[in-house]
Structure 1
């Protein structure tokens, strides 16, 4: 999931959701990217609980035959799934910020690492080793950074023309 914002040249450090820049001036691009993670709704949690109860009910027959590992395995599996869902819901989603404005590219990832490079010699390299994977790498003579790691394939494909256009405008 990503959000596109414009940066006004009159207010270089203030974000605005719409461009109030006169025509002919490049406002820049601010791109907030975040991992798309949806939480389970209450009906989905109830369905998950019903499936767990059915799994335990179906393990009764093997338990009556003396196979006690089947219900223990079912119980451990359901506990591991619940733990994984709760851990994922509480953890912070991965995110990145990419800014292309005033001839400079700034990239900041979720860990706080920041990369600065000039727009003049920067280029966007889209590597697709397989049809289901795509890596977007911004390269300049002194630095390179992979962007959009937290996005899905379709979102990365949609960003290629947007970033290429912002780079060409940033070189002017």
Structure 2
């Protein structure tokens, strides 16, 4: 609860994150794609990718590196909600600029599922922190090494998948 109050009292970092995510990053992707003379469809794909909200891994890095975990979790949650409106607008705008007029399908159900996938654990974590602060300290001590193992495992799996894909090229 105090976390939410803190974000409402000082919303600037969160607002800067949202502006960066949905205005600066797509514009940057558009400029890079034009400078690199990418095909129109690939340029639009790059813009859409740069407009997409971050995954849940950002707050794991914040936890491991001593960053602002609350801001990372809040940014993930807020950007997922904002993405429901911002991604279609960004896709339409840059699609027009690039001359790509294909109908784009925005997976609202998938975005909602991602939002719930993020919101439910965050809500449970806030409830545990509020009601059982001693348990919170124990869980944090367990989560840090587990998070590190997950990140290393994810990197290894991504490498293996990339290597198997490139082996067939």
TM-score normalised by the chain length of structure 1: 0.29
Between structure 1 and structure 2, the one with the greater Rg is 1
Normalized per residue, the structure richer in strand is: 1
Normalized per residue, the structure richer in helix is: 2
